[in-house]
């Protein structure tokens, strides 16, 4: 079944809008991750600790806190 020119034009516009949105979303997300990594590196890492290790440690601490565990004790 042939589509009308109006439907085809609307699909092209929709594809362009979605593509543009995805590019913006990716750039904003990437910029946020850079800022987050710099913040963790500067303020939350311990001596010699990598950024990813600090994020993992903080996530584990948050999980213990949400589960009702003690956040200061490390087994």
Q: What is the pTM of this model?
A: 0.67
Write out the chain's pLDDT in tens, 75 residues: 568 999 999 999 999 999 999 999 999 999 999 999 999 999 999 999 999 999 999 999 999 999 986 656 655
Residue 33: its pLDDT value, please? 97
The pLDDT score that the predictor gives to residue 74 is 59
Buried b (16+ CB within 10 A) or exposed e, 58-73: eeeeeeeeeeeeeeee
**What integer pLDDT is reported at residue 20 of this predicted model?**
97
Q: Which residue bears the tokens 């948050």? A: 62
Interatomic CA distance for residues 53 and 66, integer angstroms: 20
């Amino acid at each position: 079944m042939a589509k009308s020119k109006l439907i085809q034009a609307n699909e092209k516009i929709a594809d362009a809008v979605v593509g543009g949105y995805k590019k913006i979303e990716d750039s904003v997300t990437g910029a946020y991750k850079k800022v987050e990594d710099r913040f963790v590196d500067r303020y939350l890492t311990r001596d010699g600790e990598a950024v990813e290790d600090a994020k993992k440690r903080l996530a584990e601490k948050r999980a213990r806190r949400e589960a009702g565990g003690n956040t200061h004790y490390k087994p």
